[in-house]
Amino acid sequence: MKKRRQTYYLNVTEAQMKELQSLVRQERQRIAAEGSKRTPRVIRLQGLQKALENSIYFFDKHNNKVNESPLSEEDEWLSRRE
């Protein structure tokens, strides 16, 4: 049976998250350059890197969505016509 994913909420700034992402990428590239690119550690770091990318993406998407106007595209179009 597959393990169910859990969400972890980290109390970090966007700059800290991007720095963490950069460190993971550098470490993955360093390990991959030393040997095979398909070692278990490199694969785990790739997964972690992807998780960080997704976290940043959804964080940005959520924050932009909150700041958008509550009108739908159709409502905005109608209000411009009036």
pLDDT tens, position by position, for the chain (82 residues)? 677 877 777 788 888 988 999 999 999 989 888 887 788 999 999 999 998 888 888 888 887 754 555 555 555 555 555 4
Alpha-carbon distance values, 4 to 1, 8, 31, 48, 53 (Å): 9, 13, 29, 16, 20
Residue 55 sits at φ, ψ, to 5 deg, of -60, -45
Amino acid at residue number 57: Y
Helix residue ranges, H only, 1-82: 14-34, 40-67, 73-81
| Contact by Cβ (8 Å): 28, 42 | yes
Residue 68 per-residue DSSP state: S
